[in-house]
Amino acid sequence: MACMPDLFIPRALRMPVAALLLTLLAACAPTKFETQSDIPQPLIERIPVVIGVHMPLEFTAKVYEEKREGGGGEYSIGLGKAQSAGFMRILNAMFNRVVPVASPRDAAATDPEIRGVLEPVLEDYAFVTPADSGTSTYAASLRYTIRLYSPQGELAESWSFTGYGSQPASQFPGKGDEALAAATRLAMRDAGAKLAAEFHEQAIARGLLPSAQPGTPREVELPPPPPRL
């Protein structure tokens, strides 16, 4: 169905029909917003190393775009600024020092203390609206992968995790874009919480943790000398 039907409108009906057409135009307008960062700095024990961070342009400037069939609408959702700011806030809380690098292979030349380089990748963003699910809730999910490189740029390990968020449509009556923005913001916050809370338990962290320090030497007691004959 076209957003602006071509109709002959009698004069007596023009005002009510005009109001209807404005409603149709609003419904056909694309949903467009910039996600806001809502990831607080976590209070966690720092990993005592210097880490490099490489955020590619497709991560920092990511804009999700979709045109859904059957009158499902058009979407343009900015994710890059919020996820970049949120991840940097978390990484600065997780490590003693965080050094941005132009690429993983530049880490050793950038700072000799860098132990490894982390690179975040947005693997997938998905959402459902009340029209999709038949419920009164907007929901969103963000799937990320964190890659670990050596200071020389060799891929060593990776770890994937997903953040989820939902928002009742009733909290934003008639403003589906704001409800979807809130669900996306909560999904990003959930992903950030998982990064902060679960990173230590993943295999990816083993290559960053400092080697165990040698134990303190114990005092050794010598046996008493044998009795003189």
Q: What integer pLDDT is reported at residue 173 of this predicted model?
A: 79
Q: What integer pLDDT is reported at residue 8 of this predicted model?
A: 52
Model confidence at 16: pLDDT above 80: no
Asked if residue 3 lies in contact with residue 24, where contact means CB atoms within 8 angstroms, the answer is yes
CA dist 61 to 69, 88, 197, Å? 26, 15, 26
**The 155-168 sheet, strands edge to edge:** 95-100, 47-53, 114-128, 137-149, 155-168
Per-residue DSSP letters for 113-146? TEEEEEEEEEEEEEEE-HHHHSSSEEEEEEEEEE
Question: Token pair of 179, please?
Answer: 């409800």
Model confidence at 217: pLDDT above 50: no
Per-residue DSSP letters for 149-218? E-TTS-EEEEEEEEEEEEEEGGGSTT-HHHHHHHHHHHHHHHHHHHHHHHGGGSGGGTTTSPPPPPPPPP
Distance between CA atoms of residues 140 and 155, nearest Å: 30
Model confidence at 18: pLDDT above 80: no
Model confidence at 13: pLDDT above 60: no
Residue linked to tokens 């165990």: 212
Question: Token pair of 19, please?
Answer: 């109001």
- Assign 214 a pLDDT band (cuts: 50, 70, 90): very low
Around Cβ 175, how many Cβ atoms within 10 Å?
12
Q: What is the pLDDT of residues 113-153, one digit of tens each?
A: 999 999 999 999 999 999 888 889 999 999 999 999 999 99
Asked if residue 139 lies in contact with residue 128, where contact means CB atoms within 8 angstroms, the answer is yes
Q: What percent of the chain has pLDDT over 70?
A: 79
Model confidence at 222: pLDDT above 60: no
Lowest mean pLDDT among 77-81, 104-108, 147-151, 220-224: 220-224
Q: Which domains does the chain have, with CATH numbers?
A: 48-205 (3.30.160.150)
Contacts of 114 (CB under 8 A, 6+ apart): 50, 51, 52, 99, 101, 107, 108, 151
